[in-house]
Structures are given as structure tokens and as C-alpha cells.
Amino acid sequence: MNDSAGVFDEVRSLPDPTAARRFEALVGLDTTKRHLLKEARLLLDPKALEAWAERHHRSKPSILATFRDRPPLFIFAGDVGTGKTALAESFGDPIARELGVGVMLYCLSLTARGTGAVGQMTTLLAGAFDEIRSVAKRSLGTSGKPKQAVVLLIDEADALAQSREAAQMHHEDRAGVNAVIRGVDDLAADGLPAIIVMCTNRLDALDPAVRRRAAATFLFERPNDDQRQAILTGALKELGLSSSDIARLVKLTGPTGTRAYGFTFSDLTQRLLPAIILDAFPDAPVTADRAISTAQGMDPTPPFRGEHADGVVHRADNGTG
């Protein structure tokens, strides 16, 4: 399925083995995953909430109404390399398997910003949301359970939904933010089996009206000691590194006396671990000394900027999710 206007970078059909592997590989985000999947299930299959109430409370309490008009929007915010986009692209896989339906993942292209021509950005964004609504409407099932679900991923969302409070903001950008808000509101009003996920490195740059509409905001941070240990142990213990060796690597990849930040998830999984293997290949085994030397010679990705939220948020696996 392709979008003729090129508004979507790609459309993926889930479940998919690649997405499943990516979801499982996100070590250290277990609490975030559980909370996200629960939120997503209630948005896509609201009848499940009624069934829960009947089973446990023998009624349909009025509190369930608070879920009825909840905007189907999640915001993933945090520094680069912390797993935001990887989770956004893969969480539809376990949802598809749990609900027993297909999930279509639409990845919005930044070409939706247009070229600056008057009305172009609004037209492109409205067309993208119309496509999502059309697919979601066809996905409604007569039993209340969807035949299919839709996830719209808007990466680098601050480029499309930046705050209209900025004095220097162009009129066309303001109109684009209005189009995004209308798209979210229309999906909420229609009660369609669709979820929007906005990923951003700059939570404070998002328009306040967009942030208020989020059913949940998840803050992604760099892995702490326990998370780094889980990642490194899972990869290196079977190669013969001891617990004390891995403990040294955990310390080296965290904040140090010369820097206030540690390695990101992607620094560990896409840079450090492959570098350790490449250092040994093809003539020698991986050793603790060489692995530690490799870590000592590598710097983590610098932070993008600080993030502060003014609403209810769920920090990724810090015990609040």
C-alpha cells in the first residue's frame, strides 16, 4: 500500500519477524513496554475495558467514560539514541499478536512540511490524516473489535508540531500545527482503531495544545547502571567475560568525572558491542582487556538538549510507568 503523494516514507504490515526482534532487543525498557502496550490495547480495543469491568466489578462504572474521548496520541520524548523510534516502529508487533489482527504502520515523511508554498503543508498533512482515517474506518469490525489497526508514526515531531507561541514562527507552520491538531481530534471523535505516536528530542518545542492531547507522554533517558549491565551481560557473558569485567564496562560507559552523561542505548548496541567484536575478528577471541580498551577509546553521543515536561509523564523504566 503506497501513498501517491509521497507523504509517507513507508508503510509496514505487522506482525513481522523483524519488528518482533527489534521490540525484544530493547533491553531495559520493560516497564515502558508494558505500560505502552496496555495503553495501546485500550485505545484500539475499547471493548476489552468493558469486559474487564464486567468481570471484576459486575457493571460498567461511569469512570469508563473517561476513556471514551481520549485522544489516540502518545508522545515519546528524550535524548538521541534512547530507543524512542525503535519502540515506536516495533510496538505494533506485539499488539498485532495479542489482538489477533494486522497492524499497519505508517511513517510520516518530513516532506509533509512542503516547500513553503502557501497552503501546501496544510494540504499534505490533511491528506495524510485523511488516509489514516480512511484505512482505520475500513478496519472497524461489527463486533466492536477492529479487523485491523493503524499506527501513524511522526518522527522528529517538533518539526511539524512546533509551538505556535514562537514569535518568529511562519504562518504556514502555524497552519500546519493546526492541521495536526485537527487530525488528532478527528481520529479521537470517530473512535477509530488508530494510534498516533510523536517522537521528539525537544519536548518543550512541541505546541502546548499537542502536548495536552497526549493520552500518555513517555520520557526516554540514557540507560542507568542496571540497564547497561543487562545489555552488556546479555552480549558478553557468553563470550567469557566475568561479572567483574562487565562491572568495569558498566562503570566506563556511565557518567564519569570528565562528563556528566553516559552511553545511550544505541551507543552500546550499535557502536560499542560491534566495535568489541571487530577488534577481535578474525584472528583472536574477545578478551576483557581488549573490550575494556575499546570502551575507553570511545565517547558517547553528546546529549541533544535538556527535556522538561509540564504534564503527566511516564519516565522510561524508572518505576513510575
215 shares a domain with 239: no
312: in domain: no
What's the pLDDT score for residue 143? 67
Is 212 in the same domain as 233? no
Query: What Rg do the C-alpha atoms of the chain give, in angstroms?
Result: 22
Place of cell 497552519: 175
Please state the domain count of the chain: 2
**What distance in Å separates the CA atoms of residue 203 and residue 217, rounded to the nearest whole number?**
10
In this structure, is residue 316 part of a structural domain? Answer: no
Cβ(141)–Cβ(186) below 8 Å: no
Cell, residue 317 = 523504566
For residue 306, the model assigns a pLDDT of: 45
Mean pLDDT, consecutive 10-residue stretches, the chain (321 aa), reads 66 97 90 94 88 92 86 95 96 95 94 73 92 92 80 94 79 89 93 94 94 96 94 96 98 95 96 98 97 97 62 49 35
pLDDT of residue 2: 41
Of 201, 220, 239, which marks where a domain is finished? 220
Q: Do 208 and 236 sit in the same domain of this protein?
A: no
Q: Is residue 82 part of a domain?
A: yes
Residue range of the domain that includes 236: 225-296
Q: Return the pLDDT at 273.
A: 98
Three-state secondary structure call for residue 240: coil
Do residues 270 and 143 share a domain? no
| 92 and 166 fall within a common domain | yes
Give the position of cell 546479555.
234
On whether both 214 and 263 belong to a single domain, the answer is: no
Q: How far apart are CA 10 and CA 7, in angstroms?
A: 9
Q: How far apart are CA 115 and CA 258, in angstroms?
A: 43
Q: Are residues 142 and 104 in the same domain?
A: yes
Residues 25 and 170 in one domain: yes
- To which H or E segment does residue 243 belong? helix 243-252
